[in-house]
Amino acid sequence: MFDFEKFLLQIGEDPKREGLSQTPSRIQKLYADIFDGYKQDSSKALGSIFNEENFDEMITLQNIEFYSMCEHHLLPFFGFINIGYIPDKKLAGIGGLARLVDIFSHRLQIQERLTTQIADTLMELLEPKGVMVTCKATHLCMRMQGIQKQHTDIHTSAVRGIFKSDSKTRAEFIALTK
């Protein structure tokens, strides 16, 4: 287990100082919130799934804000996720799509896995004609340590079904989410 007092002593800080006396309990509460995605079942994230046989046009939800923690450095990365899917009889509530993003982002992550987990879960739960997920994120590990590039964002995408096989469908999603 992580010894916060030992950590403070190693960096030259006084663990008994007034400003630090409640920090261990604050960190415990903070981490319970940041990592609550482990306590949630991603297969239940969408809530009610609606069976609507007559809607087969693209549905997009864009600029879903997220915050996550890099599993390599335990530093935050954050940004926006766009989701698009073309239903084949099943529709998800839009709140459920945002909840799915929260569940996966509230775990130790890498951006590439976060993007694919969302797409794969939607393919599994909704069985749509296709799904596309894009993610644009800022990583504090890129800004604070090592290379220290202040204006670098990382873009990832996960493309499934018709989005992968039909360039016009991909282009429509990209146009809708710009």
Which entry of 106, 109, 117, 139 is annotated as an active-site residue? 139
Which entry of 13, 52, 65, 72 is annotated as an active-site residue? 72
Q: Would you say 155 is a known binding-site residue? A: no
Which residues make beta-bridge pairs with 65? Answer: 80
Q: What is the dihedral of CA 138, 82, 49, 86, to 10 degrees?
A: -150
What crossing angle do the helices spanning 111-126 and 94-105 adopt, rounded to 10°?
Answer: 140
User: Catalytic annotation on 141?
Assistant: yes
Q: Would you say 70 is a known binding-site residue? A: yes
Q: Would you say 135 is a known binding-site residue? A: no
Which residues make beta-bridge pairs with 86? Answer: 130
User: Catalytic annotation on 72?
Assistant: yes
User: Catalytic annotation on 5?
Assistant: no
Which entry of 5, 13, 52, 71 is annotated as an active-site residue? 71
Closest residue by Cα to residue 87 from 99, 97, 78: 97
User: Catalytic annotation on 13?
Assistant: no
User: Catalytic annotation on 148?
Assistant: no
Please identify every residue annotated as catalytic.
Answer: 70-73, 111, 139, 141
Binding residues for Zn(2+): 70, 73, 141
Q: Which residues are annotated as a binding site?
A: 70, 73, 141
